[in-house]
Amino acid sequence: MVLRGAAARRVKAGMHYIVVNLVASFLFLIGVALMYGVAGTLNMADLTGQVAALSPDDRTLFEVGAAILGVAFLIKAGSWPLNLWLPDTYSAAIAPVAAAFAMLTKVGVYAVMRIGTLMSMEEAAASMLGPAFFYIGMGTLVAGSIGMLAAQQLARVVSYSLIVSTGIMLAALGLGTEAVTAPVLFYLIASVLTSAAFFLLTGVTERTRQFGSTEVAVQAPDPTPPRPHYVAFGVREPDPYSTEDEVGVAIPAAMAFLGLVFVCCVLLVAGLPPLPGFVAKLAVLVSAIGSAPATDMVTHAWVLTAAVLATGIVSVIALTRIGMNLFWAASERTPPRLRMLEAVPLGALVVVALALGAAASPVMTYLEATARSLHEPQTYIDSVLVLRPQIDEGAP
């Protein structure tokens, strides 16, 4: 999927993506093999009982396998310092593929959350795991923020914003409290919808420029600038000699529609009220600060709060700079021919994201129940293990 289009830049990024994911798959298999060799099962419900009965030496080997498995999932999630492949790959892929990959990236975060809450762990190991996730998340957050400020293309800024969202979730989970799980799940849903919409938008806006024109200009301005061209309003002097073929069905004020979608995505990424990005970040921070005294993570909670607020400002600065250059700058580029096949999924993702903010209360209630089931997995374990006697009786 990454290689679709066969452009040189896309092939290079695709090769990097393949190599990194082969390494992640290799680590995944090693971790699974170690865990199976020690415990004799890969049933997650059964592992909770098997781990408690392991000898100290076998327990150490099992934890090494679990750590290797966690590294594989962190690579998939795009966590620092294992995410250097992500910006190049996602910005080079075609828009629908990048949108799909943005959704799949969060599977790694959920896998870490799911396995960590399901498997029983010793208190010493748990006390080490929380700070580790927090520092990994903070490093991911800082690296993504720096990348957003340095990027000069919209697709790369969106790729780095995806890294920032992963960092926020990992750092929040690293606080080691059940109260942040539901807000993190809410933020996961909001960030997935926003990133997917943003990547689809980059595919459409790519047609409004010649190669490299979305990069922020750093050279001295031309002393004889071109005639102003306000593409956001569809106003341009017609060219009677143009032989350009029209592709698709034109939507009136296409650039105005794209500009509106861009503004919505910027507000969602930055987390400004009353959009779901704001609701999710506020819920994460309130839960983190409120539960921090019980886990001796007060300083970590306030550091996370300051970092989340700073990333919101960074997002506004980086995306506003790109948006002004893309939609408002004087240019001779041709407004795109926006097709219904492109406009409908783009608008639908934005509408669903906005509706998520409007329905935050019932959604959060459902996610709180989900969080309780994650942190109290005994019901799941019992429902799985109850089938074992029936299977044993039927065995020859």
Whether 329 maps to a domain, the answer reads: yes
Confidence at residue 122, expressed as pLDDT on a 0 to 100 scale: 47
What percentage of the chain exceeds 90 in pLDDT? Answer: 0
Average pLDDT over residues 49-63: 78
What is 173-194 written as a DSSP string? HTT--GGGHHHHHHHHHHHHHH
User: What 3-state DSSP class applies to 223?
Assistant: coil
* Closest to 388 in 3D by CA, of 45, 9, 16, 31: 45
Is-cis flag, bond preceding 131, omega within 30? no
What is each CA distance from 84 to 160, 195, 307, in whole angstroms?
10, 18, 21
Average pLDDT over residues 18-43: 84
Whether 241 maps to a domain, the answer reads: no
Higher pLDDT: 327 or 333? It is: 327
**DSSP 8-state symbol, 93:** S
| Burial grade of 379 (CB within 10 A; 0-12, 13-18, 19 or more) | exposed
Alpha carbons 67 and 35: distance in angstroms, whole number: 10
Whether 181 maps to a domain, the answer reads: yes
**DSSP 8-state symbol, 282:** H
Cβ-proximal residues to 83 (8 Å cutoff; 6+ apart), any chain: 75, 140, 143, 163, 166
Number of domains into which the chain is organized: 1
Higher pLDDT: 117 or 269? It is: 269
Tens-digit pLDDT profile for residues 125-166: 455 566 788 888 889 999 888 988 888 888 888 889 889 988
Residue-number span of the structural domain to which 120 is assigned: 8-216+226-236+250-391
Confidence at residue 212, expressed as pLDDT on a 0 to 100 scale: 38
Residue ranges of alpha helices (H) inside 225-339 are: 254-270, 276-295, 298-323
If you average pLDDT over each of 37-41, 150-154, 175-179, 328-332, which comes out highest?
150-154
pLDDT tier at 237 (50, 70, 90 boundaries)?
A: low
Alpha carbons 11 and 19: distance in angstroms, whole number: 12
What's the whole-number average pLDDT of the chain? Answer: 75
Average pLDDT over residues 75-87: 83
Alpha carbons 32 and 64: distance in angstroms, whole number: 10
Tens-digit pLDDT profile for residues 84-137: 888 888 877 787 888 888 888 888 888 888 777 766 544 444 555 667 888 888
Whether 3 maps to a domain, the answer reads: no
Which H/E stretch holds residue 9?
helix 8-39
Whether 244 maps to a domain, the answer reads: no
Whether 359 maps to a domain, the answer reads: yes
What is 324-378 written as a DSSP string? IIIIIS---PPPP---HHHHHHHHHHHHHHHHHHHTHHHHHHHHHHHHHHHH-TH
Please check whether residue 135 is in contact with residue 97, taking contact to mean a CB–CB distance below 8 angstroms: no
Q: Which two tokens stand for residue 163?
A: 């890294």
Whether 269 maps to a domain, the answer reads: yes
* Closest to 99 in 3D by CA, of 12, 1, 6, 3: 1
Whether 113 maps to a domain, the answer reads: yes
pLDDT tier at 176 (50, 70, 90 boundaries)?
A: confident
